Amino acid sequence: MIMNIFKKIINTIISFIYPQKCLICSKIITVKTHICEKCLNSIKLNLKVNKLEYDTNKFVPCISMFKYAGKVREFIHHFKFRGNKEISNYLVYKISDENIKNITKYDFDYITCVPLSKQRNRLRGYNQSECFARDLGKKIKIPYKDFLIKVLDNPPQHELPAAERIMNVQGVYSVLKISELKDKNILLCDDIMTTGNTLKECVRVLKKYGAKNVVCCTIAYV
């Protein structure tokens, strides 16, 4: 009892000296959360399904949750470049039950993600697409598994002109755990879909090594 009161006093003093701030707008927040209500309410789900042609006349659906603009762009920027990996949880939280049905109708065995190179993962400390895939997996109750590995460290797609992006991803990815991939339905996650070239290459590799069906899912689309 006395210890609990003592802990409460210490926590109050700590939160007074180091107040919790919203990861997006830096406003001080009192409740135990990372993002203020105003910021969380300012992003709206805007689901879109694109068709990605990963091979000649072969397509897979790509479900994207938000349009990459305005406040969503800020969320993703903080998530990707400011070390705030908790943001993924808040983005996943916004996905409604109706949207969940749109994803789970495909009956997936595993959820996985587009990998980063070892060097980039070390620099950032985490793979944002993996955080999203794991959080989404928890919400829709699909187990997460690593299947793809990046074997070449290519320049980031967003730094290249569109014409060079197809070539830039070829031969960059390979597969782990081939026996576990065979005949499985895979949900492949990434952060942003721009041209879709990275996702197409990953789908091609997953299919080549035995995946039965692959559907892509990204936080946002450009």
**DSSP letter assigned to residue 144:** B
Residue 71: closest CA among 97, 29, 36, 100: 36
Residue 24 interacts with Zn ion (CB under 5 A)? yes
Residue 74 interacts with Zn ion (CB under 5 A)? no
**How many residues can be counted in the chain?**
222
Whether 110 and 142 have beta carbons less than 8 Å apart is answered as yes
The residues near 62 (Cβ < 8 Å, ≥ 6 apart) are 49, 50, 51, 52, 193, 196, 199, 215, 216, 217, 218
Q: Which two tokens stand for residue 171?
A: 């031969």
The neighbour count for residue 48, using CB atoms within 10 Å, is: 14
Binding mask 139-178 for Zn ion (x = CB under 5 A): ----------------------------------------
Cβ closest to Zn ion, residue 28 vs residue 166: 28
Stretch that binds Zn ion, among 18-26, 57-65, 92-100, 121-129 (CB under 5 A): 18-26
Cβ closest to Zn ion, residue 15 vs residue 104: 15
One of 20, 21, 22, 100 touching Zn ion (CB under 5 A): 22
Least separation in angstroms between residue 27's CB and Zn ion is 5
Residue 39 interacts with Zn ion (CB under 5 A)? yes
Least separation in angstroms between residue 85's CB and Zn ion is 17
Cβ closest to Zn ion, residue 39 vs residue 111: 39
Residues forming beta bridges with residue 26, ordered by sequence position: none
Residue 36 interacts with Zn ion (CB under 5 A)? yes
The neighbour count for residue 17, using CB atoms within 10 Å, is: 7
- Where does this chain bind Zn ion (CB under 5 A)? 22, 24-25, 27, 36, 39
